[in-house]
Amino acid sequence: MTATLYEIPVESLQGGSTTLAEYRGKVLLIVNTASACGLTPQYQGLEALQRQYGERGFSVLGFPSNQFGAQEPGTAEEIAAFCATTYDVSFPLFAKTDVNGPGAHPLFAWLKSHAPGPDGDADIRWNFGKFLLGRDGGVIARYDPKTPPDALADDIDKALG
């Protein structure tokens, strides 16, 4: 297992491998997203958080996943266009990612190992599962997919100091 969050390789939505090293020292909200889900309107709330707190050292990081009801079937280009035109998303989006099972991306394996779900089961229950990380890269909290983004504002504000 990779030593820190910042060393885990990830793929950008536009293609190309990178890491989360550029986000070191920021408060992060990592979310598995989908474009055709009943919870998809959460993109609006996530973008509102990005705009409210971005200048203070906060970033939402979106990881589209097609694991729940095949609700993210699009190509990278289709996902980018949908997010830009429908929700004016400005936060970074990454390549389509598995979050559960044997093919779970190492980032989500790391997140789940540091913050199991409320019932002790590490698996993410649905699209829009959320992990709040502090400036030190540690997981502060994990939120259920149905938790609306605006409900995280106090926790984000505290993490930003």
Whole-number pLDDT of residue 66: 96
For the chain, what is the domain count? Answer: 1
Please report whether residue 1 resides in a domain.
no
Range of the domain at 129: 9-160
Nearest CA-CA partner of 37 in 61, 67, 59, 80: 67
Please report whether residue 2 resides in a domain.
no
Nearest CA-CA partner of 156 in 136, 138, 140: 140
Q: Element (H or E) spanning 155, and its range?
A: helix 153-160
Active site residue 83: no
Whole-number pLDDT of residue 116: 80
Please report whether residue 103 resides in a domain.
yes
Whole-number pLDDT of residue 117: 75
The model's pTM is: 0.95
Whole-number pLDDT of residue 1: 44
**Positions in the chain whose pLDDT score sits under 70:** 1-3
Please report whether residue 4 resides in a domain.
no
* Per annotation, catalytic residue among 8, 29, 37, 39: 37
Do the Cβ atoms of 130 and 31 come closer than 8 Å? yes
Whole-number pLDDT of residue 54: 97
CATH at 154: 3.40.30.10
